[in-house]
Each structure stands twice: as structure tokens, then as C-alpha cells.
Structure 1
């Protein structure tokens, strides 16, 4: 087991144990950094992560190109995706609701 540490939106420190595979994924997908061989640190609070994705994508929906203010997982969490910068994009509410837990290819094919 690996210890993951981070900060809540209110600045409180938290920690939880996660398995090695998840720790590797979070580091590889730029959501966490290695502190030492048994600890990683989450880079963003939920609020900071949301702001980062929306700003990075310039509040533009990944799917339709209109104004977006929600976050969507390219690989849905229900299908094994994680909340990482590489797996999340800005989406408008309409596209986010319509995509739901579909794969991107399924959604774009409709």
C-alpha cells in the first residue's frame, strides 16, 4: 500500500492508503508527485483541479466547442477512469449530460 496525502478545499490535510497501481496512474497522469517510495502527494484540491481544467481548456467544451463550465472524464469513472489532468476535459452541461458514462468514441458516433 502507498500513502497518498493532499489538502481539502478548505486547506485541511488528509491522507489515505491506495494500491500501488493507482499511485502509479496518478503520478503518470500528472495528478500526484512522488514524495518518497511509500508516499505520493496529490497536486490539486477539488476546487483547484476544477479551476485548472477549465482554465487550461479556456472554458471551451471539448466536444462541441461552445462555452463549457463542467468537467468530464474522457474514460468515465464508472469504467475505470480517474480524475487526472490527462483524463479530464472541459465540457458544456449539455454534452456532459448527454455523454454520461459513454466512451468518447460512442458519444461522438451518435
Structure 2
């Protein structure tokens, strides 16, 4: 995979073919040739894309959000792609931590039932 860092430096990184397919399928990279894919966004561009796409509204509670959260956490095999990332407020992002979406929403439901 090829890309550019936030400060404009080019990089090259070898990745597994299965990961390359996921990144292309989820609109995080595109195919240059049969041996190379190129990342579409730098980290800064990706963050701006997600926050703008979601209108700075937290995916979980609707409040103002300025962080990015992975619906399927990276610790559980999720990737940093537009399909897997959403805008989140700091509180929801920290509360969700490394739980997947289903685990997090179940914990919220339990909290409301116990109140």
C-alpha cells in the first residue's frame, strides 16, 4: 500500500491481500495496479471526512462530537475505513472503549432499565 503522511511524505507498506480487499471495498483505498493499492485519505483528511459526513453529531447520543470511533474496534479486527468509523462525543467514545456496537448498545439499554 502506498500513501502520504499528514506532513506530505510518501510511504510504502506491505499488507496482506485480504486486508487490501477490505480497504478497497470499504472506500479507504483504490487499486493502482495488481501489486499496489493507494490510500485515499491521510489521517487528517480522514478525520475531517468522518466529522463532516456526520455533521459533528455523535453517532450514539446525538450531541456534539469531535472524535472518531470504530464501530467494530480495531482490537477486534475492525479497520479504519469510512464504513467502520463514525463521529462520537468524547464521553461516548470513552464509554464504548473496545466494545463492539452491539455490546455497547446493550450496556446502554441495561443502564436505562436500571434507572
The bucket for the TM-score relative to the shorter chain is over 0.9
**Whole-Å Cα distance in 1 between the matches of residues 19 and 89 of structure 2?**
28
Cα distance in structure 2, aligned partners of 1:71 and 1:90? 5
Query: What are the superposed Cα offsets for residues 71-102 of structure 1, whole Å, 9 maximum, x if unpaired?
Result: 00000000000000000000000000000000
The SS at the match of 1:14 is strand
Structure 2's unaligned 5+ residue stretches are: 108-115
**Bigger Rg over Cα:** 2
TM-score, with length taken from structure 2: 0.92
Matched, 1:45 2:67: no
SS in 1 for 2:14: strand
Q: Name the CA distance, whole Å, in 2 between partners of 1:103 and 1:96.
A: 11
Question: What TM-score comes out, normalization by structure 1 length?
Answer: 0.96
Alignment of 1:48-87 (within 5 A): 48-87=45-84
- Unaligned stretches of 5+ residues in structure 1: none
Matched, 1:33 2:24: no
Deviation at 1:109, TM superposition (A): 1.2
Higher strand share: 1
RMSD: 0.4
